[in-house]
Amino acid sequence: MAGQSVARSYLALSREFEEQQLYRKAEEALRLGLEKLPHHPLLLTRLAVFYYRLDMLDEALEAAHRLIEQHGDLRFPYFLRGNFYRATGNPEAAIQDYEKALTGNVRDRGILRRLIPLLLEQREAEKALEIIRTYQSRLNKPVLFAEWEAEALLQLDRRSAAFTKMREALLQSPGNARLVKRYLQFSIQTGQRHPAEIYEVLRLGMPGLVPLSDEELSDVEVDFFISQGQFEAAQEIIARMLETEPDSYYWRRRQAFLKLEMGMVEESAGEFKALLQEDCTDVEVRKVLENYHVLVGKLDEWKRFIQNMLRDHPDQLHLFEYLRRIQEDTDWLAIAELDYEGFLEQVEGLELTQADLTDVTYQKLPAYALEAFTARLAIGNEVPTPQTLWHLLYSERMKKDQIPPFHEEDLEAAYPVWLFALHIYFLFRTYGELPVAFIPAFLQHQQVAALVNTDRGMIHINISSLLHAQVSPEENLMKVNQHFKWQWSPQQGQPERMVNGIPFYSPEQFQEFLEQLQGVLSGE
């Protein structure tokens, strides 16, 4: 009993700190509790969930592993870890843990609502069907998860049985409009009858059937005519809907996809572009346009289109990630148009509260903080203020029902190191002749400010000695695995320029450094 009282005290203290957004103290409270009660399941569970909410998924998984090691006889830890695996994009591991969390009784329904859709997504219809029917029998509920059972049967190409099962699901929930619409869509895949006829039969036979709107019924009719190859009839319905809702994104989107299916590729491409400019988060539309530009040999034009969209939507970091992927460029700042002097002008315009290069806060921040900073710099050719960056990061986390595990003040503490490292990159980019790249993770974990591509191989420009005023080894250039590491040291001179309290090397100093580097390379 005493142990439970101690655990409750630390849980309450952690919750209080979290409500005040004192996240480090909230974490410390849980860790102190675990020092006294190392194996307490509630403390371990709370710590895992705490890390998950802060988007610290590696730490959340580590806490969940520990919980399972200590309490493998409990089922909930497996359910918890399954949720974490699902969040990290590991459906196979999530499925395994969800299966271990099952107890065989009615309390499993919450787990099954996560497990069965995952199985269907992974095309494991046989296993999904087996689990559904097992629980239908155990709980004496023959139509339990009937809709998912129908989906599984459809995956197994048992169309008639799938349609029958979907009808059973509808009989149980005639007031569910989504289910009514799904039933009509099933009818398209299993028969030749017009969905309007089927809906009328349903309406007469089920007094409690939810009425579908004209738009919902028209949507299913379009699917039906497309399945029958009657594209003109489908076009007429879409045109009718657009007469009443000319700005409807949904119906314009359906029209574009219909034109694509009809072979009107060029015309549909123009419509897809307009749609993507309106909603840059529409991944399916984006994929269609990418395929089109690859097909017609205009991939460079597509990259420019995405880059221009980024100028209009600088906060859409997912679009920046996509552009980096299709450009296949390791340099995160490849699209930036700034040079060294332009970058320093940006730094001069900031209102910074700190200028300490020895502060290691930058190493403790999650990777996405520096990545978002770099993305905004690349997209807008301007250095975001700590306040702007904080609001961007906070809003992005809130979309995922998470909160950043740091404060705006932590960003302010990281800015001096970030800016100092980037000025090294811009020196190489502006005054050097070799290809250069900036990769956020290399700065955060290895203190590498730039990667320079030479005919001898890649050179990592390491600034750890500058940040921590350390004496560098006599040999500044070292071979490390498949690349070289150049240690830029204080012995090579102190920075001559000072901007916003942060020291920066001048172009003249850089030229001296570059000559030294080239001399070492030529004699290597």
* Structural element, H or E, at residue 84: helix 76-87
In 3D space, the residue among 503, 512, 507, 514 whose CA is nearest the CA of residue 452 turns out to be 514
CA 79/CA 258 separation, integer angstroms: 42
- Rounded to whole angstroms, what are the CA distances from 8 to 1, 20, 26, 43, 453? 11, 19, 14, 9, 56
pLDDT of the chain, 524 residues: tens digit per residue: 456 788 888 899 989 888 887 888 888 999 999 998 988 999 999 999 998 888 888 889 999 999 999 998 889 999 999 999 998 899 999 999 999 999 988 999 999 999 999 999 999 999 999 999 999 999 999 989 999 999 999 999 998 898 889 888 898 888 899 899 989 988 887 776 899 999 999 988 888 899 999 999 999 999 999 999 999 999 999 999 999 999 999 999 999 999 999 999 999 999 999 999 999 999 999 999 999 999 999 999 999 999 999 999 988 999 999 999 999 889 999 999 999 999 999 999 999 989 999 999 999 898 899 999 999 999 999 999 999 999 999 988 888 777 888 889 999 999 999 999 999 999 999 999 899 999 999 999 999 999 999 888 899 999 998 887 655 555 577 777 777 888 887 777 789 999 999 999 999 999 988 888 887 777 65
Q: CA 21 to CA 31: how far, in whole Å? A: 17
β-pair type (477-480, 483-487): antiparallel
- Please report the pLDDT score of residue 524 as a whole number: 53
Domains of the chain: 1-101 (1.25.40.10), 247-328 (1.25.40.10), 340-522 (no CATH)
CB neighbour class for 157 (10 Å; exposed up to 12, middle 13-18, buried from 19): exposed
**DSSP helix, strand, coil percent of the chain (3-state; round to 5):** 65, 5, 25
Strand partners for 452: 436, 459
Amino acid at residue number 269: A
Task: State residue 473's pLDDT score.
Answer: 56
User: What is the pTM assigned to this prediction?
Assistant: 0.81
* DSSP letter assigned to residue 401: T
Q: Which long-range contacts (CB under 8 A, 24 or more apart) does 277-284 make?
A: 277/309, 277/312, 278/249, 279/249, 280/309, 280/313, 280/316, 280/319, 281/316, 281/318, 282/253
